[in-house]
Amino acid sequence: MIPTGIIGGTGMAQLAGLEIEREERAVTPWGEPSAPLVRGRYAGMPVVFLARHGRDHDIAPHAINYRANVWALRDAGVRRVIAVNAVGGISADCAPGTLVVPDQLIDYSWGRAHSYCDGTAMPLEHVDFTAPYSDTVREWLLWAGAAAGIEPRDGGTYAATQGPRLETAAEIDRLERDGCDIVGMTGMPEAALARELKLEYACCAVVVNWAAGRGGDIHTELEAWVQTGMAAARRLIEAALGAGATS
Ligand code: HPA
């Protein structure tokens, strides 16, 4: 059976409950991924887990080798990817603790190696990115969230910022004017690279703080929201996989 890829972000450097079968150090034409790939079973289904920021969470968002990460998952046989990303909430209904399955994104990041189409490993292709996330995986996540009693927010625009610093209040105002609902630092170029490799990819965003200027001190209670939010994300993934992957 084809394994599902899970990319864990802040608060999910390991997937609690994963029955580990083996770990693989992957090497790709783009270098090494953030961490060894962990193969195992989650809710009885085969998965390949990758810690986006490294095992010790010491790789900053702008320093992640996104190309190696996504390539390694594809080489490991993955065709469908659930990306878990911690985010700040901009829209009023994206309070800390909320899970969001975005349907759009705007990329504000810069200077990241963001494509495989460099004329060497892959020919130039202008991939269609009108809808940046896979509808199939999105629907699957939404269904699983409902089944797990979580009811994630269906849709929303993810703003991918450069980090590692957080945003200014004025930057968040601008993102809101642009139509963004949530803000994170790791959503791109990951989603676009997955599209270039024709992977079915969607994001389960976990709101862990109000974005800058949206109330309170960003770091207050953040750790607690990371814990609660990631526990909810795990329940969602468990429900999704438990329901049985179809391919
Ligand atoms: N901004 C950017 N990235 C984030 C945030 C935020 O407020 N919270 C978690 N990741």
Average pLDDT, the chain: 94
Tokens of 216: 């309170």
Contacts of 113 (CB under 8 A, 6+ apart): 30, 65, 66, 67, 189
Beta strands in the chain, from DSSP E residues, in sequence order: 4-8, 19-24, 37-42, 45-51, 80-89, 99-101, 104-107, 153-154, 157-160, 182-184, 200-210
Domains of the chain as residue ranges with CATH: 4-242 (3.40.50.1580)
Percentage of residues in the chain having pLDDT higher than 90: 85
Among the atoms of ligand 1, which is closest to the Cα of residue 161? Answer: 2
Is the CB of residue 167 less than 8 Å from the CB of residue 183?
Answer: yes
Answer whether 35 contacts ligand 1 (Cβ < 6 A).
Answer: no
Q: Which residues, given as ranges, of the chain have pLDDT below 50?
A: 245-247
pTM of this structure: 0.96
pLDDT (0 to 100) of residue 247 = 41
Q: Is 206 within 8 Å of 86 (Cβ atoms)?
A: yes
- Alpha carbon of 9 to ligand 1 centroid (Å): 12
User: Among the atoms of ligand 1, which is closest to the Cα of residue 184?
Assistant: 3
* Ligand 1 pocket, residue 211 CB under 6 Å: yes
**Dihedral over alpha carbons 208, 213, 214, 218 (to 10 degrees):** 20
pLDDT at 244: 64
DSSP string, 39-67: EEEETTEEEEEEETTTTTT-S-GGG--HH
